[in-house]
Every structure is written in C-alpha cells, then in structure tokens.
Amino acid sequence: MKIAVYPGTFNPITNGHTDLVERASGLFDHIIVAVGINRQKNTTLSAQRRVELASQVLSHIPNVEVCSFDTLLTEFVKQRGAHIILRGLRTVADFEYEFQLVGMNRVLEPDIETVFLAPAEHLSYISSTLVREIASYGGDISKFVHPVVAKAMMETVGKDI
C-alpha cells in the first residue's frame, strides 16, 4: 500500500491544498493530511480546529485521513507506516525552501522520499498567509477557501468576511 503524508500547518486549508489532495488521491492508496503543530509559528486557528476544518473540506475523498502531529515529520511518517512525503510547489521560492527540507529529511530518514505536485494554475497564487491577511482586513476570502473555512475565519478574526 502506497501511503503518502501531506504535512502542513493548513492555517487555514485553502482551495490549493484541496486541489493537491484531490489529485494525489488518484496516485496513492492512502493520504494522511498531517496538520503540524509548529511551536515556532503562531497560528490563527487551533490545531484541533484546523484538523476539523480539513476533515470537513476533504470528506468527499475516501482515501484521505486528517490528523495532527507534534513530532519530527520523519518520525511521524515512520510511525504511520508511510515512505512518501507529499508537498506542493507554487513558486521557485517554494522550491528553494522545499529542496532544503528534502535534504534534511533524507539525512534523518533515507528511506523516505518526497514527491512534489504543483497546484492547478488558477490556484497557484493562493497561500494561507495571504488568506489570513485578507481575512484580517475583513476581505472576501470565499474564492480561496471552502465555505466552512471562510465562516471559521470570519468567526476567528471577528470581521465580516
């Protein structure tokens, strides 16, 4: 069974993330969307809320599981019996950062491979950071995220999105 782990903070999960998981679901037997608890990042949404939202948004994909993790990614991947890390690439800047991670992960766990997918072109400009910024100013984020995510962001930032 080919199990891929798609890690991220998903703060919040966007239509770009969803597109990537939908396309990857045809390539792998099982995908674990792993919501990271990064102690170095301040997140707008709690880990539990990010897991809940991702679960709702991805519920239409039968071979996807959503959970959180608070360990080294390579340890989590091994614990879950996977050998593949799935990552999205939008820009050259993403590639430079991801290339560093691949090298580090390969040293930590040589048996784990990283697979990159690019989002659909019409979604390639979407990032969680930009969605949070737009939401913080009361902007309409409905074109970038699922309706349940837009509602959760509206409730979190306290503005009418």
For 5-64, write each residue's pLDDT tens digit.
999 999 999 999 999 999 999 999 999 999 999 777 778 899 999 999 999 999 999 999
Residues 6+ apart with CB under 8 A from 80: 3, 5, 32
CA distance linking residue 91 with residue 139, whole number of Å:
24
pTM, full prediction: 0.93
% of the chain at pLDDT higher than 70: 98
Query: What integer pLDDT is reported at residue 94 of this predicted model?
Result: 80
CB 10 within 8 A of CB 17: yes
Structural domain 3-124, CATH architecture: 3-Layer(aba) Sandwich (3.40)
Residue 96 CB neighbours (<10 A): 9
Query: What integer pLDDT is reported at residue 159 of this predicted model?
Result: 47
Q: Catalytic residues, which ones? A: 17, 41, 90, 128
